[in-house]
Copies of this chain bind each other. A is one copy, B any other.
Amino acid sequence: MCSRTKPHRSRTGRPRSTEADTAILEATRAALVELGWSKLTMGDVAGRAGVAKTTLYRRWANKNELVVDAVAVLFDELELPDLGSLQADIEHVVLQFAALLERPETKTALMAVVAESTRDEPLRERIRASIVDRQKRLVLAGRERAQQRGELPHHFDPVAVDATDDLIFDVVAGAVVHRALVSAEPVDAPWATRLSALLMGGLGAAATAGG
């Protein structure tokens, strides 16, 4: 994924500083931690990064796109180790995602850019590509692994499979976000267990009925 506004494959002229890139993204995260999304300013980020404002705008069209890219990289840490059972995998991913949401830079930024994206189609697309897809692949991987283990039946209707993947994704991610940010309650191991148990029951019932 290229963080720049344009690919810029020009062969001549001074090349862009890659140190500037990383310094800006780090400065953005630091500013998010200290100030939160709404108090973060481009001038402040530039100052922290030791860079001119122009250098920011040469790379990102506006504050929201910068913030998305600054936060997106954090989602790379999400992974799905094989813990032996679907329920264990779900619990693990729930706690991982919750830990990410507890970090001040994501807590303040994620909802804000999503809110902005309701009126900004390019931003929504960037969020989807940078963040949402990174999470969604965990659902796919977990489901496939569960099928291989025999915990879930091998469906032959790909549409139904996709629909269930989507549903599980919205339920898991939505529930964690809602618990963490709206209800403002801790997403801890007991809660993760209760959530995954609920899902396991629901999936089991569906498998029994529809399988």
Contacts and interface: CB of A to CB of B under 8 A. Distances in A.
A134 B154 CA distance: 41
A118 B124 contact: no
Interface string A186-211: 00000100110111111111100100
A96 interface: no
Contacts of A171: 171, 174-175, 178, 195, 198
Interface residues on A, range: 35 or more
A132 interface: yes
A173 B127 CA distance: 21
A111 B174 CA distance: 12
Contact of A197 (B181, B184, B191, B206): B206
A167 B198 contact: yes
Contacts of A86: none
Interface in A87-142: 107-112, 114-119, 124, 127-128, 132
A203 B194 contact: no
7 contacts: A38-B116, A38-B119, A112-B116, A170-B182, A173-B182, A174-B174, A174-B175
